[in-house]
Amino acid sequence: MLAEFIRDHLGDEAADLIARLALIAVILLLTWLLRELFTAVVPRGVRRVTRRWNLGWDERLIAALQPPVRFTVTVIGLWTALLALELPADLYTPLARLMNSLLIAGIFWGIYRLIAPVMEMLLALNRRRRRRAVTPSLLERRLGPVIQQIGGVLVALIGLGAIMDAWGYNVAGLVAGLGIGGLAVALAAQDTLANLFGYFVILADEPFQIGDFVVFDNIKGTVERLGLRSTRIRAPDQSLITVPNRTVMNASITNWSRLRKRRLEMTLSIEYSSTPGQVLSVVQAIRDMLRAHELVEQQSVVVQFAGFREGALDILIVCFVNTPDWADFQAARQDINLKIMDILAERGVSASAPSLVVYLQPAESGERDARAVAVPPLRPEPLSSTAEDSPNPSDAAN
């Protein structure tokens, strides 16, 4: 009845226009309802999917998905409303390309926003599967952001290519031209690419962490930074060494920070005047002292009378100290040395000092007695060192 009333009083054209406007209003209303529905349904679906993993990433995924979904639904609703107007051909083509471009942009925008939370979720699942610590490794800290950046660039480039294809541009020819140019750049930047490849190899192999003390190729120091081109190492004299990643990749690296315990090995020399009973008493006392020490690994203790040396009897002492820290190891070594001195003093045994024995023959041939005189070896006077004579004045001053 309403349609007949409009046709009778306003004519067929007005009736058709009013019908189209009513249809557009209905489409826009449905678009708004769909936006609100997706806003309410998408979070519930995401929480239901991620609930089984119990990772706590629900809100991040929801925050990443909501804006692109609302934008895409709005674009679809507006394009449907424009189709209801039956636009002329000269206006339809550019609008169709524009709407297709907006739709592609919305889809790739959603993919781009999902890269970071999905990457973090996958790394968390990997740590949980391997039962690793909550703290991420160097590979996860360094390679994770790089993968996110590369993935974001790829998504942006693919989306841009799809938009250009929607506007009728030859994307295949552009990609071929970029490939030829990229080959030329790669040939001209071999060293840079080698260092970049070394960066990924270091991250994958993980020979050290930031803050580890490493030694390789006459270079030693603490790793401060791992970059795309080079690795920066702080030497013990506080100088900064920059090493290309390809050199680090091919080097044999000794990582002292990965120690779980340190080996203590020394030779104790005592005088020849010591009796076998005294030697065995000293050996047993040192062995018992080491096994009772709080930082010494009991199963690693080896204390034995090693043999005879010129002017001394040697006792071999070997054990492992359960500390990776160098300062703690030196403190434990000092404590062990002091206790060894107490053991020697309690048993009346003296440590051997270097000496030279000279046999004197009397001038008279009739006398047959010879006297042996122990003469300490001559030691040169120590050379004085000043800040000006040292190649590094600051070290000499310290």
CATH of the domain at 248: 2.30.30.60
Dihedral of CA 77/83/85/91: which sign? positive
CB contact at 8 A, 105 and 160: no
The total number of structural domains that make up the chain: 3
Query: Environment class of residue 100 by beta-carbon count within 10 Å: exposed (0-12), middle (13-18) or buried (19+)?
Result: middle
The answer on 78 and 182 residing in a single domain is: yes
- Note whether residue 174 is domain-resident: yes
- Note whether residue 311 is domain-resident: yes
Neighbours of 319 (CB within 10 A): 27
Rg (CA), the chain: 41
The answer on 205 and 73 residing in a single domain is: no
The answer on 265 and 224 residing in a single domain is: no
The answer on 268 and 183 residing in a single domain is: no
Confidence of residue 339 (pLDDT cuts 50, 70, 90): very high
**Tokens standing for residue 233:** 């190492």
The answer on 272 and 165 residing in a single domain is: no
- Note whether residue 369 is domain-resident: no
**Which pLDDT tens digit goes with each residue over 247-285?**
998 888 988 888 888 999 999 999 888 899 999 999 999
The answer on 308 and 238 residing in a single domain is: no
Mean pLDDT of 18-25: 72
Neighbours of 112 (CB within 10 A): 18
The answer on 202 and 177 residing in a single domain is: no
- Note whether residue 221 is domain-resident: yes
Distances (CA, A) of 161 to 108, 132, 172, 318: 11, 41, 9, 68
- Note whether residue 291 is domain-resident: yes
- Note whether residue 395 is domain-resident: no
pLDDT at 348 over 50: yes
Mean pLDDT of 48-63: 66
| pLDDT score for 324 | 85
Mean pLDDT of 368-377: 48
CATH of the domain at 340: 3.30.70.100
- Note whether residue 130 is domain-resident: yes
Among 163, 188, 213, which residue terminates a domain? 188
| pLDDT score for 296 | 92
d(CA 398, CA 392): 10
Confidence of residue 382 (pLDDT cuts 50, 70, 90): very low
Confidence of residue 171 (pLDDT cuts 50, 70, 90): low
d(CA 395, CA 180): 55
Higher pLDDT among residues 7 and 348, named by residue? 348
| Phi, psi torsion values for 330, nearest 5 degrees | -65, -35
CB contact at 8 A, 349 and 334: no
| pLDDT score for 351 | 85
The residue with tokens 């300490």 is 376
**Which pLDDT tens digit goes with each residue over 173-206?**
666 655 555 555 555 567 777 888 888 888 778 8
Among 162, 188, 214, which residue terminates a domain? 188
- Note whether residue 389 is domain-resident: no
Give the residue numbers spanning the domain of 132.
7-188
Per-residue buried b or exposed e for 6-35, using 16+ beta carbons within 10 Å of the residue's own CB: beeeeeeeebeeeeeeeebeebeeebeebb
Among 304, 320, 346, which residue terminates a domain? 346
| pLDDT score for 239 | 92
The answer on 277 and 163 residing in a single domain is: no
